[in-house]
Amino acid sequence: MSQPSNLHERIDAITEEITPHLIEIRRQLHANPELGFEEYETSALVMQELTRLNIAHRSGFGKTGVAASIGQGNGKTIGIRGDMDALPIQESASPEYKSRNPGKMHACGHDAHTAIALGVSEVLARLSDMLPGRALMVFQPAEEGLGGARAMLEDGLFEWIKPDIMLGYHNWPLIEGGTIGYHPKTAFASTDPFDITITGQSGHGAHPHLAVDPIVAAGNLVSSLQTIVAREIAPLDAAVVTVGSIQGGSARNQIPDSVKLEGTTRSQNPTVREAVKAAIERVCAGIAVTHRVTCEPTFLAGVPPVVNDPDILLSVLDTARGILGDDKVVELPQGSMGSEDYAEYSALVPSAHLRIGSRLKDRSTMLHRSDFDLDEACIPTAVKAIAAAAIDLMKD
Ligand code: ZN
């Protein structure tokens, strides 16, 4: 059994005091969502709060990203990342804080993530005299497939302050508010988005022998790609190959010049990741020969898997149990094949990633749905667990 400590009581009290303000901030962000690299008002609000709290901070990392430094201790530096961007989705539910920006919505809860990072900042700032180390707070833009983490790193985030350890978190509607979930090893999958253009020779639909048909080639390619996971990857290793978009042709009686496919891959370890990419290249080469077309995949910037460091995760869970109660920390049965660009940090420094329970009490929804909303109990829960875990990790 973990015992409540004096420090935990103080974190608890500060968090309870500031929670109404954090919920206000979350609702303000929810009503005013901004897409990746356009989080101007969001980062202005973040900086206004950091200024109010007297916390040293810098902007200009990844266009709209902000980073803050808290504490002067000689112990470890703990990086804590919250993402800020919304999605191009029209909100269909009608909470009082419904999105005022047509076609834009916080459908992944990054509004709450920003509020949580501000809450952790305030707790740590108010305890700054007794911090054994330092915190690097990372308010990141453009998590939704646009490379915000990479952009912050390329703009020198870790040259400003290099953390010894990173902590990440995401609200998780599959578990109830007030709880923390975790995956013991791989928290998120790697992803490698790909484009494939198949080029043949256009012609009349009545004279296929005088054309080179990229549509038939595309049909075979989609089927053949599905054999990679089914027939080449060991059944107990996880992998996904999805073709999500296929575009070609404009008339029923014409064979078009080309067909464009877009897809994504997922895996949970580097060996499988490379095997899937190599297999896609080989299958494309085979389709090219078989159908007399050109067919080459282009892989766009992907991200590696998010793998928890076992010792850091153990420490974080121990602290979380201490401050929230043993029954509030739950192991999740399986890793997710979703991806997170938090992987960019966790590839550079040892890290742990937590799921913050956010299931609504009165209806069910899920991340990226147009009716998404979350149990705001996730905000104080995450603030307490992450602030306390960071302080424990700062001790050498
Ligand atoms: Zn998200």
- Going from the Cα of 234 to the center of ligand 1, the distance in angstroms, rounded, reads 29
Mean pLDDT for the stretch of residues 20-24: 98
Same domain, 194 and 183: no
Could you report the per-residue pLDDT of 128-184, keeping only the tens digit for each? 999 999 999 999 999 998 999 999 999 999 999 999 999 999 999 999 999 999 999
- Going from the Cα of 339 to the center of ligand 1, the distance in angstroms, rounded, reads 9
Q: Which has more pLDDT, 333 or 191?
A: 191
The mean pLDDT of the chain is 96
Domain C-terminal end among 250, 276, 299: 299
Same domain, 74 and 214: no
pLDDT for res 185: 87
1 pLDDT band, cuts 50/70/90, is very low
How many other C-beta atoms lie within 10 A of the C-beta of residue 387? 30
Same domain, 197 and 317: no
- Give the 3-state DSSP-derived string for the chain, with helices as H, strands as E and coil as C: CCCCCHHHHHHHHHHHHHHHHHHHHHHHHHHCCCCCCCCHHHHHHHHHHHHHCCCEEEEEECCCEEEEEECCCCCCEEEEEEECCCECCCCCCCCCCCCCCCCCECCCCHHHHHHHHHHHHHHHHHCHHHCCCEEEEEEECCCCCCCHHHHHHHCCHHHHCCCCEEEEEEEEEEEECCCEEECCCEEECEEEEEEEEEECECEECCCHHHCECHHHHHHHHHHHHHHHHHHHCCCCCCEEEEEEEEEECCCCCEECCEEEEEEEEEECCHHHHHHHHHHHHHHHHHHHHHHCCEEEEEECCCECCEECCHHHHHHHHHHHHHHHCHHHEEECCCCCCCCCCCHHHHCCCCEEEEEEEEECCCCCCCCCCCCCCCCCCHHHHHHHHHHHHHHHHHCC
Domain for residue 12, yes or no? yes
Same domain, 72 and 202: no
CATH number, domain with residue 281: 3.30.70.360
Q: How far is CA 207 from CA 193, 247, 254, 293, in A?
A: 35, 22, 9, 17
pLDDT for res 266: 97
- Going from the Cα of 338 to the center of ligand 1, the distance in angstroms, rounded, reads 10
- The C-alpha atoms of residue 194 and residue 301 are separated, in whole angstroms, by 9
Mean pLDDT for the stretch of residues 339-351: 96
Domain C-terminal end among 299, 326, 360: 299
Domain for residue 248, yes or no? yes
Q: Which of these, 161, 142, 115, 73, lies nearest to 390 by C-alpha position?
A: 73
- Going from the Cα of 305 to the center of ligand 1, the distance in angstroms, rounded, reads 15
CATH number, domain with residue 117: 3.40.630.10
Ion ligand 1: protein residues whose beta carbon lies under 5 Å:
108
CB–CB of 127/394 below 8 Å? no
Same domain, 49 and 105: yes
- Going from the Cα of 87 to the center of ligand 1, the distance in angstroms, rounded, reads 9
- Going from the Cα of 141 to the center of ligand 1, the distance in angstroms, rounded, reads 11
Same domain, 247 and 291: yes
Domain for residue 133, yes or no? yes
Domain for residue 225, yes or no? yes
Q: How many domains does the chain have?
A: 2
Same domain, 51 and 71: yes
- Going from the Cα of 108 to the center of ligand 1, the distance in angstroms, rounded, reads 5
- The C-alpha atoms of residue 85 and residue 62 are separated, in whole angstroms, by 12
- Going from the Cα of 255 to the center of ligand 1, the distance in angstroms, rounded, reads 41
Residue 164: give the domain boundaries: 7-188+305-394
pLDDT for res 336: 86
Same domain, 236 and 269: yes
Same domain, 183 and 199: no
Q: How far is CA 303 from CA 139, 163, 266, 338, in A?
A: 19, 20, 10, 11
- Going from the Cα of 190 to the center of ligand 1, the distance in angstroms, rounded, reads 15
Same domain, 264 and 230: yes
Domain for residue 316, yes or no? yes
249 pLDDT band, cuts 50/70/90, is very high
- Going from the Cα of 144 to the center of ligand 1, the distance in angstroms, rounded, reads 7
- Going from the Cα of 225 to the center of ligand 1, the distance in angstroms, rounded, reads 28
Domain C-terminal end among 241, 272, 299: 299
Domain for residue 317, yes or no? yes
- Going from the Cα of 353 to the center of ligand 1, the distance in angstroms, rounded, reads 13
Domain for residue 1, yes or no? no
- Going from the Cα of 109 to the center of ligand 1, the distance in angstroms, rounded, reads 6
Same domain, 213 and 99: no
Q: Is the pTM of this model over 0.85?
A: yes
Same domain, 181 and 205: no
- Going from the Cα of 277 to the center of ligand 1, the distance in angstroms, rounded, reads 25
- Going from the Cα of 140 to the center of ligand 1, the distance in angstroms, rounded, reads 12
Domain for residue 43, yes or no? yes
Task: With a cut of 60, say whether residue 4 has pLDDT above it.
Answer: no
Task: With a cut of 60, say whether residue 2 has pLDDT above it.
Answer: no
